[in-house]
Structure 1
Amino acid sequence: MHPKRRCIYVWQCCACGCKKVNIEAMACLECGELRCVLCHVTRVRLRGTPPQNSSPTGEVPARYTSTARITSPVVSYPRAKTRLLTILIHGILVETCLADSGSDVNCIRYNFARSIGVIVTKEVTYFSLPIKNSYLKATGVALIICQFPSSPTMAQPVKFFVFDRLQCDVLLGRPFLRATQTLDLYQHRLRHIEGASDVPLAVRSIGQGEERVQCWLDGEPVWTLPDTGADVNLISSTFAQALGYDDGKGKPIDCGNRIDLEVADGSTVTTEGIIQLSVPFSPKESNSTIYELVESSSKEATAVEKTDIQRNSQIRETFHVLATLRYEAILGETLLATVDVYNQHTAKFSLVLGQECAGIAIFRRKKTGEGKTGSTLPLSPEQKFMDEFSLEYDRHLKEKGDIEERQRRGSISDEQAQVRILQADQEHLQWLRKFRELLERYYPGYYERNVPQEIA
């Protein structure tokens, strides 16, 4: 006669993947994390006398289900909308520029550059794309005066690489966005435009992706690419397998949600499916709040949604698995904007230069009410000169504008206005001549095009 069988219940830790943890244990034996709603409970049959509380139907008793011991509250939070940058390029107001923190360079489409009168110099350069063994060819370069429509305008000559094929008209990369503090201090420059986001989903980063941000994906620390030019979050299939996700093995990948994703050159790649990951920017705490991001128009806001996301919180987010992804993971624009990562988690950023990491020298102490403060590091000589040039350019434009306004009101005659404008131009040219060496070093060709050559 066979001995009677009984059942016990075990659970699998969602943080480290440890299996068959006894249901009576509140914490994982491997990583020490408490059991939560995401830890899967299963029923295991053993020999012996059935316990009094065993379920004859084979279902998990209510007192053992994950919802019986919720260690962290789950809160719905409105997802930030996609945003575009408004800026004056070559004197033309462009409201649909892409601010792409995942790109190392500024990019402009050749046809668009020619349509606004930009002079393009032929120069072939190849840039890597976030897809393995994929590259994009730039056919030229252009030095274009850019400035913001509101103060501080920060007018300056900006180097653009010109592409025959580009997924958007204008793309401003990380160095420009960091130097002008558009991602942190002056976020008001970025705004959502209704209808402008009705385009195919894309990841538009160009270059090596030198800046990284540290976060924890399902408890695993990883340096990810923060990419405000990516419409979705991405994870490589290799890293997904390391987290225990594998189609047919381990935790499943939802292969029914594959998407076609455009890259910067307009070509498309197909993802393998999606997985759900917890994304804290600090080691996970057992009592930290779990936020589930929802579209602001699809679900009513709760009371908690009216406050900022706590810094030690976790975000339950969808990641698209891509086998050919060059990085372990990419954090998309709406996730970065929702958690305000460039203000709330400044200490988690690093520059990756070859095998070395360097701090980011872009932060300054902000005035009261401007948000979080970051560490201040010395600016590079190029950035110092860029700031000086921006101030001089703004001063020159303001002086000429004041003269024209006085002329319009009748305070000075037309002849007086012409003389004063000529004097203002001469003062500006004198400044350019004084710093000719730096202009030729950092902005080749600008001096020759804008300063009349003296005849000996």
Structure 2
Amino acid sequence: MAKKRYIYVWRCCACGSSGIRLQDPSCLHCGTARCGNCQTTKVQSQNLGTSGYPTDDKHTLSRITNPHRHYEHWIPAYINGIKVTAFPDNCSALNIVSEDFTNRNKLIIDRTKLTTIHLPNGDTKKSSGSLKSKFRFNREKTLFDLVFTVLPNCVCSVVLSSDFLRVTKTFTTYKSRIQRGRTLSRLRPRVCLQGSPKQQVLGSINGHSVSASPDTGSDVNVISKGYAESIQLKIDTNPNAMETIVFIDGSTTTTCGIVYDVEWKFGSAPTRAASALQARGISQKLAKNVLDWEYGSDARRNSAFICNFYVLENLCCPIILNADLLYGTNAFTACAEHFHDNEGVSLIEELESADVCVMKKTPKRWGIFSRTKTSNCRPQNTPISSRPEVNEAQMRMHELDRINALPLHKQAAAHEAERLRQRQWALNNSTQNSQTGPQQPALQSTLPQAASGPNAQITSS
């Protein structure tokens, strides 16, 4: 009796056809070859071009897993000849070193130059001085004269500021400086948060346009409670959903909940646009079955990501995007057109004041900073919330969001009107300062200008 021979035929998971074209990209759902007849997949029922990418305007829903619990990013560098692993913080207004680092390496601190750092919840922290140094990247010869702010109990040894990283093109042209590797502890992944972020990225959350703060130090995405309620997001306030957040000075705060399965998309949403979740009617349970994003691949025009956002009260900005979302999608290069400078308060003015924070997500069992809480004391000078510069900065952010929500043919005129208003405000403010003397940091110029790093000079080696 002859043996039976079984022939296994692959069938398309969308139409059931057995047609196979090996030159086609693999199916995004099951990993096998895509059907050569219908050119569709079970997840994406849309036409695909020869590159395998969507050619229409439909969303592709993906979820970025959280490798930042096991991985971290750093930059090998040298400070005064001392080898360091610097933390690239795109939302830091200052270059910072911990006081413990200066003590271990016997570096001289200038105790006369103090800086007030504003934490995201409105509290303040005084630095213990400043450090002038010669800085260079690993395997590079260019030297930089950098001034570092020395911070007691800093959770990072060395933090590089947003301006310095942008001037040196570390996130774009020379992104190979940034290394990524496994960490020995799950507590290493960091979240950087800034009181008044200087750089923002335009995007949409569940179809609502918003300017978010791209924080390469973030371990989790964060959203302000007020903004979450304004766009009617459902906040899970279960005690088990709350997390402990550690600021850069080691002080802690507790989140007031979490928002699950939020859709984030780079770029502003069209007028009256619904999110992919709303358009497809996908429930939260079905949203968990979206594609796993390939970490490190470029985000495309219609890429939408399902994320969880921790909710923090009195947050200084609407949304903070974490490092996983930024590094995982190569956002600084793939979505460069959506990044813009915040026309707000000058973050650094002769080291008088700065808004900066680094946060770390802390499990409940971790008790290193359990006895350290953020101080409720305020500086004796004018509260930051009552300064006219801060009010103007907030108004500019609201106006930017309003203009971005307008139809395209109306945005140019709205931008020009806003520029005139900002120039008039700057003129009135400069006149007042000439009479009373400049006591507060001035707002940045609204005219386009090349970025320049704080306290950084390049010297030939």
Please give the TM-score of this superposition, normalised by the length of structure 1: 0.56
1:343 to 329, 333, 336: 333
Distance verdict in 2 for CA 1:255–1:241, change over 3 Å: farther
Distance verdict in 2 for CA 1:385–1:187, change over 3 Å: closer
Larger Rg: 1
Partner residue, 2:3:
none
- Letter in structure 2 aligned against 1:265: D
1:167 to 151, 155, 160: 155
Q: 1:242 offset after TM fit, Å?
A: 1.0
Find the aligned partners of 1:266 and 1:224 in 2 and give their Cα distance.
Answer: 25
Kept after mapping to 2: 8 A contact 1:288/1:313: no
Partner residue, 1:262:
246
Distance verdict in 2 for CA 1:277–1:73, change over 3 Å: same
Find the aligned partners of 1:207 and 1:323 in 2 and give their Cα distance.
Answer: 13
Partner residue, 2:368:
none
Partner residue, 2:7:
none
Structure of higher RCO (CA pairs closer than 8 Å, 6+ residues apart): 2
Q: 1:273 offset after TM fit, Å?
A: 2.1
Gaps of 5+ in 2: 1-42, 47-57, 278-288, 346-391, 398-447
2:91 to 102, 106, 117: 102
Partner residue, 1:192:
180
Q: 1:240 offset after TM fit, Å?
A: 0.7
Q: 1:171 offset after TM fit, Å?
A: 0.9
Find the aligned partners of 1:380 and 1:289 in 2 and give their Cα distance.
Answer: 36
Secondary structure of the residue aligned to 1:93 is strand
1:211-246 Cα distance to aligned partner (Å, 9 max, x none): 211111111111111111221100011111012125
Find the aligned partners of 2:266 and 2:102 in 1 and give their Cα distance.
Answer: 39
Partner residue, 1:224:
212
Find the aligned partners of 1:344 and 1:147 in 2 and give their Cα distance.
Answer: 27
Find the aligned partners of 1:190 and 1:306 in 2 and give their Cα distance.
Answer: 13
Find the aligned partners of 2:186 and 2:305 in 1 and give their Cα distance.
Answer: 25
Q: 1:349 offset after TM fit, Å?
A: 2.0
Q: 1:332 offset after TM fit, Å?
A: 0.9
Kept after mapping to 1: 8 A contact 2:127/2:150: yes
Find the aligned partners of 1:306 and 1:222 in 2 and give their Cα distance.
Answer: 24
Q: 1:199 offset after TM fit, Å?
A: 2.1
Kept after mapping to 2: 8 A contact 1:127/1:207: no
Find the aligned partners of 2:251 and 2:455 in 1 and give their Cα distance.
Answer: 39
Partner residue, 1:281:
266
- Letter in structure 2 aligned against 1:308: D
Partner residue, 2:165:
177
Partner residue, 2:348:
none
Find the aligned partners of 2:454 and 2:152 in 1 and give their Cα distance.
Answer: 29
- Letter in structure 2 aligned against 1:128: H
2:114 to 107, 117, 124: 124
Kept after mapping to 2: 8 A contact 1:142/1:160: yes
Kept after mapping to 2: 8 A contact 1:201/1:261: no
1:351-375 Cα distance to aligned partner (Å, 9 max, x none): 22234679xxxxxxxxxxxxxxxxx
Gaps of 5+ in 1: 1-66, 291-298, 359-376, 394-456
- Letter in structure 2 aligned against 1:333: A
Kept after mapping to 2: 8 A contact 1:166/1:264: yes
- Letter in structure 1 aligned against 2:266: F
Distance verdict in 2 for CA 1:246–1:318, change over 3 Å: closer
Find the aligned partners of 1:338 and 1:320 in 2 and give their Cα distance.
Answer: 19
Kept after mapping to 1: 8 A contact 2:202/2:268: no
Kept after mapping to 1: 8 A contact 2:146/2:455: no
Kept after mapping to 1: 8 A contact 2:62/2:306: no
Q: 1:201 offset after TM fit, Å?
A: 6.0
- Letter in structure 2 aligned against 1:349: F
Find the aligned partners of 2:454 and 2:150 in 1 and give their Cα distance.
Answer: 23
2:317 to 327, 339, 362: 327
Find the aligned partners of 2:179 and 2:118 in 1 and give their Cα distance.
Answer: 29
Secondary structure of the residue aligned to 1:324 is coil
Secondary structure of the residue aligned to 2:457 is helix
Find the aligned partners of 1:378 and 1:194 in 2 and give their Cα distance.
Answer: 39
1:165-187 Cα distance to aligned partner (Å, 9 max, x none): 21111111101111111111112
Kept after mapping to 1: 8 A contact 2:191/2:323: no
Kept after mapping to 2: 8 A contact 1:202/1:262: no
Kept after mapping to 1: 8 A contact 2:131/2:150: yes
Q: 1:258 offset after TM fit, Å?
A: 1.5
Find the aligned partners of 2:155 and 2:252 in 1 and give their Cα distance.
Answer: 11
Quick one: percent identity of the two aligned structures? 23
1:56-99 Cα distance to aligned partner (Å, 9 max, x none): xxxxxxxxxxx99997554455656431121111101113x211
Secondary structure of the residue aligned to 1:178 is helix
Distance verdict in 2 for CA 1:83–1:166, change over 3 Å: same
Cα RMSD, aligned residues only: 3.7
Find the aligned partners of 2:64 and 2:144 in 1 and give their Cα distance.
Answer: 39
Q: 1:336 offset after TM fit, Å?
A: 0.9
Find the aligned partners of 2:125 and 2:249 in 1 and give their Cα distance.
Answer: 7
Find the aligned partners of 1:103 and 1:305 in 2 and give their Cα distance.
Answer: 25
1:311 to 301, 314, 319: 301
Secondary structure of the residue aligned to 1:314 is strand
Q: 1:381 offset after TM fit, Å?
A: 7.9
2:133 maps to 1:149: no
- Letter in structure 2 aligned against 1:215: G
Distance verdict in 2 for CA 1:278–1:144, change over 3 Å: same
Find the aligned partners of 2:456 and 2:244 in 1 and give their Cα distance.
Answer: 43
Kept after mapping to 2: 8 A contact 1:246/1:253: no
2:201 to 193, 213, 230: 213
- Letter in structure 1 aligned against 2:228: A
Find the aligned partners of 1:99 and 1:323 in 2 and give their Cα distance.
Answer: 26
Partner residue, 2:406:
none
Secondary structure of the residue aligned to 2:176 is helix
